Amino acid sequence: MTVPPRLRRALVRLRRDVAFIAAGVTLHLVALLLQVWVVLLLLGTALDPDPDTPAVLAVSAPLLIVAGWGLTEPQRWRFRALCGVELPRQGFKEVKRQFGYNLLIGPLLGVLEFLLLALLLAALAASLVLVWIWAVPWEWRVQHHGYTTPASYLTVLGLVALAAVPVLAGGLVRLEILVGRAVLGVSRSDELARRVEDLTESRAGAVDAADAERRRIERDLHDGAQQRLVSLALNLGLAKATLTDLPPEAQQVIDAAHREAKDAIEELNNLVRGLHPAVLDELGLDAALSGLAARAPLPVRLRVDLPDGLPRRTAPAVEAVAYFVVSEALTNIAKHAREATRAEVTVARLGEILRVVVADDGPGGADPSRGTGLKGLAQRVRSVDGTFRMSSPVGGPTMMSVELPCPM
């Protein structure tokens, strides 16, 4: 006989729910019976002192304590093996939650489980009353004429109860899973801590991936487009020097193309240097910042203080952020603070902090809330858990301070 898939799934689910409830009633009622035993002993001692009662209590009370803690592992197995619900292993820190579940909530659930199993057995017995009656001697049936009417009522009631059992069992299992996860599951603080740890790791991975992608773009530009532009500018320069008999209009076109090619090379150089210069990987932050200071359009006083006893190099992501901050700051000074006559860049390692300060004597008035340049700087600093501060009153001077964590 072929069983419809829907009925088969319902039977499988019912068998799982009944097995889960049957396993639970044993564990829950063990704790309930222990508690009843201890309470009866205490009441008996109070009403009628018995010399043997303290000795019995000395055994039963530790059993109750052991049950409050030791029943947790069987409960974890029951949830995992029968319902596929994974509960975390509980330590001594969660002993209150374990006692609360095994000695307070568990017995209440055990009573519900016992009533449901009793209902199931009673429903099975009632639904088969007409079958059982045919097993009794026929003389009894003859003497109890009219027995078929109450037997039919009992059969109908049994079938109705059987129809209700899957619904009640499913609801009780869902209730137990909900309570189990709430009491024996991961606490909200632990869950938040785990999520913070996951987010921190994923963000660090994203920052490292972004730095690796910048290095790849820098290599591709340096070895590809930049070399082709240099070759183009060289050829245009040769054409400009050798093709002197061309019409003036053609010479003007070649001259303009030569000039645009050189401008494109300069812009590309600036772009590559701002991405991730190779010298930063090879020689470190001090050498890379020295190159930036030398190329700046205004005098820059650079001071890098890396005390002895501390690592000379920090994490690549931190070095890249520090370099990016100084590069963008000097570019902004040259672009927006043309009245500035000098700039100062100070990089100092203070324990597990790398402090970068960029100052200029320009007119000030820079506002991080306006525009995307300073906002992007602040976001880049925050990507490695750094802090970004800026002071730029109208009239100057302007000072940008960045602190980057450098765990040792």
The per-residue pLDDT for range 82-100, each reduced to its tens digit, is 888 888 887 777 788 888 8
Q: Which of 29-33, 189-193, 244-248, 400-404 has the highest mean pLDDT?
A: 400-404
Whether 209 and 298 map to the same domain: the answer is: no
Q: Which helix (H) or strand (E) holds 315?
A: none
- Please give the residue that has the higher pLDDT: either 315 or 177: 177
Longest distance between any two alpha carbons in the chain, whole Å: 137
| Per-residue confidence band for 252, with pLDDT thresholds at 50, 70 and 90 | confident
- Please give the residue that has the higher pLDDT: either 372 or 189: 189
Question: In whole angstroms, what separates CA 101 from the centre of its chain?
Answer: 28
Residue range 128-169, pLDDT digits in tens: 888 877 777 777 777 777 777 888 888 899 999 999 999 999
| Per-residue confidence band for 309, with pLDDT thresholds at 50, 70 and 90 | low
Whether 221 and 245 map to the same domain: the answer is: yes
Average pLDDT over residues 221-241: 85
Whether 314 and 220 map to the same domain: the answer is: no
Tell me which amino acid residue 364 is.
G
Residue range 37-82, pLDDT digits in tens: 888 877 777 777 666 666 666 777 777 777 788 888 889 999 999 8
Residue range 2-43, pLDDT digits in tens: 777 888 888 888 899 999 999 999 888 888 888 888 888 777
Separation CA 60–CA 54 (nearest Å):
10
Q: How many CB atoms lie within 10 A of CB 39?
A: 10
Q: What is the pLDDT of residue 274?
A: 67
Is a pLDDT exceeding 70 seen at residue 1? Answer: no
Whether 265 and 317 map to the same domain: the answer is: no
Residues of the domain holding 375:
282-407
- Domain end among 153, 169, 186: 186
CB 355 within 8 A of CB 403: yes
Q: What is the pLDDT of residue 372?
A: 66
Whether 132 and 194 map to the same domain: the answer is: no
Whether 31 and 111 map to the same domain: the answer is: yes
Q: What is the pLDDT of residue 144?
A: 72
Whether 38 and 176 map to the same domain: the answer is: yes
Domain count within the chain: 3
Separation CA 405–CA 403 (nearest Å):
7
Whether 105 and 174 map to the same domain: the answer is: yes
Average pLDDT across the chain, whole number? 84
Q: Give 236-268 as a 3 state SS string.
A: HHHHHHHCCCCCHHHHHHHHHHHHHHHHHHHHH
- Domain at 303, CATH number: 3.30.565.10
Residue range 371-406, pLDDT digits in tens: 667 888 888 888 888 899 988 888 879 999 999 988
Whether 306 and 264 map to the same domain: the answer is: no
Q: What is the pLDDT of residue 310?
A: 67
Question: In whole angstroms, what separates CA 235 from the centre of its chain?
Answer: 56
- Domain end among 186, 206, 233: 186
Q: What is the pLDDT of residue 351?
A: 83
Q: How many CB atoms lie within 10 A of CB 81?
A: 12
Q: What is the pLDDT of residue 118?
A: 95
Whether 162 and 38 map to the same domain: the answer is: yes
Residue whose entry in the numeric block shows the structure tokens 């109208």:
394
Separation CA 353–CA 315 (nearest Å):
12
For the chain, percent of residues with pLDDT exceeding 70 = 94
Q: And the tokens for 336?
A: 């927006």
Edge to edge, the sheet with strand 343-350 lists 300-305, 343-350, 353-360, 398-405, 387-391
Average pLDDT over residues 345-373: 85
Average pLDDT over residues 239-262: 85
- Domain end among 144, 168, 186: 186
Average pLDDT over residues 206-223: 77
Whether 140 and 210 map to the same domain: the answer is: no
Question: CA–CA distance from 170 to each of 18, 256, 398 (Å)?
Answer: 9, 82, 68
Whether 145 and 180 map to the same domain: the answer is: yes
CB 359 within 8 A of CB 400: yes
Is a pLDDT exceeding 70 seen at residue 358? Answer: yes
Q: Where are the beta strands (DSSP E) in 250-334?
A: 300-305
